[in-house]
A and B are shown apart, each in its own frame.
Chain A
């Protein structure tokens, strides 16, 4: 087999056939669904959830994962935090001419492993090759299909006093990727938190039925995601700076580089807003899952009617948190 991808790998001929056979089928397995131009899928009763996401991260391999893990986990998490049970994934690859096939194999194996861990099946795919310089290595799009199960999910019935929970430390992915790029001149031993959360979220929904809302704070970080919830549902949320779980090495890297962990990307964390009476139970469930071992309550809904996010500082003053305005971050997802 060739060492590098060339344009003929994308022309639909013999090389395309070999690439699919030796890389994609070798990792994903041969499915009956692959006999036609479209996959025919069984969906259990309930509304269907569909989401799509494209992954352009640089570097492609980073401490704690690769674009492959990310492309599967990211889409699975979007389904899971919507309250749906993820079932199937499709994947589309745009590959730059000259990309090492050994790296492509690693990525595809990471995707297969991540999918296997989560019980989600990859049912369709596509590969395109573009001329050298027209893309940066490899881009992956994944589309996820899931199902909403009866009596489980997000109620959106927010009340004053509801607790805001984060399933673990913030900013790990952002710092892992930024330092892996090597242009910051620092080496922080931070691993990306990249992980599929459908198992953990399923545990919460199985035992609690519904929560108010769940979201995964990816691009834009915890602050941006909470600002969006506050504005969408016209609620005032107050989070306490002291309660934010931040790893020391992330805190240190942020101090040196002038980043705010509240705005750094996470790829394996979920925010839960739950009734005050449920908060301890949800924390216990999250802590029993490996992805949620550092789960903690970071604040609460303090009033309704005005959409804003407030941060209480250690000296008790409160300031408004807003969306990030045009700070430059490299590609992180």
Chain B
């Protein structure tokens, strides 16, 4: 498998692809008098496009816009503040993905709280949280459930596991997000002119290719599901430009090695069993109806929002423009704070610290690029 992935980064394969994409892009410009523009929905794609140098290579001829695909970044500030405030009580253990630790709250980060003595643990596998709860029956163990459809099935698995083991001191603070409602929001808002979406790889493993049909049927918009290696990214961009040139729209599955037509049926079944849709507030956007999933009423025992009351005030106002970055309205470097007041060690907004954040990708891989 790794050998195959290695080929995806082989210059012998990738260099001609770069040339082919540039040629197609020039053809597009000649025909339409502007650069083709695509949005990468997924934060990991933003990172991969920056890290592999694809974004840099195509900069002059293809407009690649980062979208709302970093789960930590799209979580609104009040929700972030509430999750940080959860750690204020002594008898709690807060478990989280590492990404959340440095995300700036209005006053403190989880890392600040940990240093000050709160019991906050980074777990690599969320299911470990259930074991931590089992080992600490006198503490309330809360997992910070931030994520898109890639993560959501794992959250349901945790609830199933806690139920099976008869653990009652485990709960999840659900603040999950769904891809479809936010893509619909962006298309309906129409603030960004797009010729197609670079569709997420991991989310699509769960959702399947057919879940994007609405893009073509209702919005006349193309999309291409892709992986994260250089050749995969380049071939997806090529296909999207080609579709646009032919003035056709379609959903391409350029990641068919792992993404099927209908997705992961088991994961979808879990979500249906445990979860129901709910309104979610998105950073820079506000509440989008039915854009998240929450635990069904019968699982209130595992729903931290039902079990613990957290009071937080209005979030501190900053000049951070993460909200506009997420919507693709500006690139990170257009924010006055970028790289100056806002850096990974001193972040003002979440996009600078998340491993999938656009600002983090630009700072790490495209700052003063040559």
Contacts and interface: CB of A to CB of B under 8 A. Distances in A.
A315 B52 CA distance: 8
A316 B102 CA distance: 33
Closest 8 CB pairs of A and B: A317-B53, A325-B344, A313-B53, A185-B125, A317-B56, A314-B11, A318-B370, A184-B124
A30 interface: no
Contacts of B98: 328
A320 B5 CA distance: 24
B102 A319 contact: no
B344 A314 contact: no
Contacts of A183: 123-125, 128
Interface stretch (B172-180, B298-306, B360-368): B360-368
Interface string B350-370: 000101000000011111111
Contact of B11 (A185, A252, A316, A328): A316
A311 B367 CA distance: 13
B122 interface: yes
A322 interface: yes
A309 to B, nearest CB: 12
| Max chain B Cβ within 10 angstroms of own Cβ: one of A258, A310, A318, A326 | A326
Contacts of A320: 367-370
A318 B370 CA distance: 6
| Max chain A Cβ within 10 angstroms of own Cβ: one of B14, B15, B53, B367 | B53
Contact of A314 (B124, B230, B353): B230
B2 interface: yes
Interface string A184-204: 110000000000000000000
Given A184-B124, A326-B345, A316 B57 contact: yes
B101 interface: yes
Contacts of A242: 9, 11
Contacts of B364: 322, 325
B161 to A, nearest CB: 14
B11 A319 contact: no
B151 interface: no
B2 A315 contact: no
A258 B11 contact: no
B343 A325 contact: yes
SS of A interface (majority)? loop
A326 B344 contact: yes
A319 B56 contact: yes
B313 to A, nearest CB: 27
Interface string A289-318: 000000000000000000000100111111
| Max chain A Cβ within 10 angstroms of own Cβ: one of B2, B10, B366 | B2
Interface of A: 183-185, 242, 248, 251-252, 255, 257-258, 310, 313-320, 322, 325-326, 328
Nearest to B352: A325
B250 interface: no
A325 B14 CA distance: 30
Interface residues of B, number: 37
Given A310-B370, A325-B345, A315 B53 contact: yes
Contacts of B128: 183, 185
A227 to B, nearest CB: 13
B54 interface: yes
A68 B124 CA distance: 28
Nearest to B57: A317
Nearest to B8: A314
Contacts of B10: 314
Contact of B15 (A315, A319, A326): A315
B167 to A, nearest CB: 19
B370 A315 contact: no
A190 to B, nearest CB: 14
B18 interface: yes
A248 B345 contact: no
Interface in B311-370: 343-345, 353, 355, 363-370
Given A183-B124, A326-B345, A328-B122, A319 B365 contact: yes
A83 B98 CA distance: 39
Contacts of B101: 328
Interface in B95-150: 98, 101-102, 122-125, 128
Nearest to A312: B53
Given A252-B2, A257-B124, A319 B366 contact: yes
B160 to A, nearest CB: 17
| Max chain B Cβ within 10 angstroms of own Cβ: one of A310, A314, A325 | A314
Contacts of B234: 315
A318 B51 CA distance: 10
A183 B95 CA distance: 13
Contact of B52 (A310, A313, A325): A313
A140 B181 CA distance: 55
A9 B353 CA distance: 45
Nearest to B367: A320
